[in-house]
Amino acid sequence: MILGTQVNYFTFDFTASGKSGGEYSTVGWHEKDDIDCVIEFLTKEKKVDHIALWGRSMGAIAAIFYANQNPKVRCLILDSAFSNFEKLIKEVAQSKVYVPGFLISGALTFLEKTINEKASFKIGEVNPIKAIQSITLPILFGSGNNDKLVSCKHTEDLYNACKKGKHGGNKVLKIFEGEHNSQRPVSWMGATISFLKQHLLGTNVKMQSTEVKKIQPAPKGNIDSRSRSNLNQRLLNTSLLGNE
């Protein structure tokens, strides 16, 4: 479906994820620098002028933190984003076994120190619901109704936080059948196509095809995206869609 929209599709692995090198993942905080690296490559080497960020889970968080940094970014598609990292940690801890609140708070204090020392970020900084309120771009929010890791309530909270602002009119929310890592339904893919058609390509662009096609895997590779090298090798996780 995506392949018939006159959109170039570029995917990559964040630092320390998938095939990319690196030691620590920072759940979207430093990953925004990876997006900046990729967009620099696309704009300078491939002459891409219009870009949409399509992020799933951590990729969605990185897209939120990056969104206002580059005027070439025209819209966002955010799949299964969490609203607040500390809140998510507490929810995951409580879902496994009952843990008294004071114990979780103590563990978070220890975890905060370790994370800051090793990965140079603080749990409290990863607060997408605060960052998203300043985003003026069109946003398509999506979440699976059976997501046990990041409940759709997180996505709903992000959407509602946007709707309260003066740019709330260009935000759309879709809750679909699925879990955190399940294959996305055709209804969601159709919504993304319509969204991209409107906000990336322009409303007068004619759809070439609605046939579902299997995307063939790109050649395997290994990158450290923060080194700003080897960006033309295989990358997965967050998607950038650009209209040349």
Give 18-63 pLDDT, tens digit per residue.
Answer: 888 888 889 899 999 999 999 999 988 878 888 999 999 999 999 9
Amino acid code (one letter) for 79: D
Integer Cα distance of 232 and 12 in angstroms: 9
- Rounded to an integer, the average pLDDT of 192-220 is 57
181 Cβ contact partners less than 8 Å away, ≥ 6 residues apart: none
- Rounded to an integer, the average pLDDT of 191-206 is 78
Q: Where are the alpha helices (DSSP H) in 9-151?
A: 31-45, 58-66, 85-96, 101-119, 128-131
Distances, alpha carbon 27 to alpha carbons 15, 41, 156, in Å: 11, 23, 20
Number of H helices, E strands in the chain: 7, 6
The model's pLDDT over 128-169, given as tens digits with 9 standing for 90+, comes to 999 999 898 999 999 999 999 999 999 999 999 987 666 667
Which strand (E) or helix (H) includes residue 161?
helix 152-163
> Phi and psi dihedrals of 205, rounded to 5?
-75, 130
Residue 193 has pLDDT above 70, yes or no: yes
At 242 the pLDDT is: 46
Helix (H/G/I), strand (E/B), else coil: 11: strand
Handedness of CA 158, 27, 180, 69 (dihedral sign): positive
At 48 the pLDDT is: 85
Contact call for residues 132 and 158 (beta carbons, < 8 A): yes
Average confidence score pLDDT of the chain: 79
